[in-house]
Structure 1
Amino acid sequence: MGDRWRLEVDRGVCISSGFCANSAPEAFRLDTARQSHPVDDEIDASEVVLAAAETCPVEAILIQMAETGDPVFPD
């Protein structure tokens, strides 16, 4: 079994750019206020999701190892 990640979006930081939802729609959705949120709390590790977090202009996306809580992004 591969690594699992826990996703979180800091809604106080999110500026509703939509980059995450456009680049990784399987992991992120925009709500009616155009704020991002994870589709699921935990996902399989994914380069697409990591790239979405890295392109967030305000680094509002936090990724941690699900089992240990160790940071994946930002590190």
Structure 2
Amino acid sequence: MVSTAEATWRVAVDRQACIGTGVCAGSAPEQIEIRDGKAAALRPEVGPSDALLDAAEMCPMAAITVTDVATGRVLAPEE
């Protein structure tokens, strides 16, 4: 786990870049869904989740960004 249990992460999906493969929703169904053929965050801010980091890393278009709210540090995808 990248952060402590009390951390808050921001999930952003670039729906223009998303091609709707569904890999993200399969990896992190509690945080991401496919809506109208594109990925969408179920909530804009969530607690830490390894599944969410995996989903962002697996996205073939790098359309999902996970950021630590407190620090502004991008946690995924890694550059």
Structure 2-normalised TM-score? Answer: 0.85
Secondary structure of 2:17's counterpart equals: coil
Q: Aligned-residue CA RMSD in angstroms?
A: 1.2
Secondary structure of 1:49's counterpart equals: helix
Other-structure match for 1:35: 38
Other-structure match for 1:20: 24
Runs of 4+ in 1 over 6 A off after TM superposition: none
Task: Name structure 2 gaps, 5 residues minimum.
Answer: none
Percent identity of paired positions between Structure 1 and Structure 2: 36
Secondary structure of 1:12's counterpart equals: coil
Paired residue total? 74
What CA distance in whole angstroms lies between the structure 2 residues aligned with 1:34 and 1:27? 16
Task: Name structure 1 gaps, 5 residues minimum.
Answer: none
One-letter amino acid matched to 1:2: E
